[in-house]
């Protein structure tokens, strides 16, 4: 309690933990909703490929890595005597118990879910060769629910980065404002670590979008080639435009060309202009805020 009185910004830590748990549960629900709205079951040969969002082994791997890192940091790098001298038994308990066995599992579960949405789901879609919906009125191939899920997952992570930036740089900015002494300003190592995490999170999201784009572009291109070939089968001398009766083409040719229009009009990314705008703002916000706080 004394810690919170001396530095109210520490309250962000349990709030972030609660937010991570709620965000994880939300992504699971949104995943099921995205599959239903995209009608994935009707567009793949084996819908069971999409059973379960996050592999258990990914969660346990991240929990093991996080727990191991925090314990090694507390025992080997910081050392228990130094922790005790800095904050007594409470600080030792926080570093040896609360952080590795309280914070780490919740945060690891969220990070595993984030990776599953941004990387594993796009790869599953590509591996299952999910058929695009060329009759989608939004011309997104029926992939908008997936694109919305990818954006939502990043937005949850963005909120966490913003909260971390405020909790890290806030105490220095508020020196003396609330009657407590703040820590020194975060140094180059903290700035570099924040930038690295930000770049990695954006890179993971960009990779998932790229995989979806490659899948959509490939399917679209292959279908266009197939429709073009079928249309040309109903035209004499299909490679001679001078002999082609453009005013009165064969009915089968017109049918295939109409289908080509639907395919051509389908975009190769699962996002609208508004979604792209929101993503650009979300990508820049954590780093912009961190630079602003670091400059104060």
Beta strands in the chain (DSSP E): none
Asked if pLDDT for residue 183 goes beyond 70, the answer is no
Asked if pLDDT for residue 259 goes beyond 60, the answer is yes
Average pLDDT for residues 172-177, to the nearest whole number?
60
pLDDT band at 9 (very low <50, low <70, confident <90, very high): low
Burial track 269-287 (b if 16+ CB lie within 10 A, e otherwise):
bbbbeebeeebeebbebbb
Is residue 125 a contact partner of residue 146, using CB atoms and an 8 Å limit? yes
**Lowest-confidence pick of 30-39, 113-122, 272-281:** 272-281
Q: pTM here?
A: 0.87
The confidence score (pLDDT) of residue 171 equals 67
């Amino acid at each position: 309690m004394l810690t919170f009185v001396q530095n109210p910004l520490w309250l962000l830590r349990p709030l972030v933990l609660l937010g991570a748990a709620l965000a994880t549960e939300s992504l699971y629900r949104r995943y099921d909703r995205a599959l239903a709205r995209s009608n994935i079951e009707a567009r793949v040969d084996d819908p069971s490929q999409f059973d379960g969002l996050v592999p258990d082994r990914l969660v346990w791997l991240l929990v093991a890595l996080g727990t191991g890192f925090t314990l090694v940091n507390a025992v080997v790098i910081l050392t228990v005597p130094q922790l005790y001298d800095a904050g007594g038994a409470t600080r030792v308990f926080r570093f040896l118990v609360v952080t590795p066995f309280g914070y780490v599992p919740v945060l690891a579960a969220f990070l595993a879910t984030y990776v599953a949405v941004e990387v594993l789901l796009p790869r599953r879609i590509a591996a299952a060769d999910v058929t695009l919906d060329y009759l989608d009125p939004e011309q997104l191939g029926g992939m908008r629910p997936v694109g919305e899920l990818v954006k939502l997952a990043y937005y949850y992570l963005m909120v966490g980065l913003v909260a971390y930036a405020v909790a890290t740089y806030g105490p220095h900015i508020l020196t003396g404002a609330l009657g407590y002494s703040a820590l020194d300003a975060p140094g180059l190592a903290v700035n570099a670590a924040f930038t690295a995490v930000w770049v990695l999170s954006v890179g993971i999201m960009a990779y998932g979008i790229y995989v979806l784009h490659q899948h959509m572009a490939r399917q679209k291109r292959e279908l266009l080639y197939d429709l073009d070939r079928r249309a040309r089968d109903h035209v004499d001398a299909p490679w001679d435009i001078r002999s082609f009766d453009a005013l009165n083409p064969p009915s089968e040719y017109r049918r295939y060309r109409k289908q080509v229009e639907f395919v051509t009009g389908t975009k190769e990314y699962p996002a609208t202009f508004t979604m792209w705008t929101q993503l650009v703002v979300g990508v820049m916000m954590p780093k912009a805020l961190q630079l602003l706080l670091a400059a104060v």
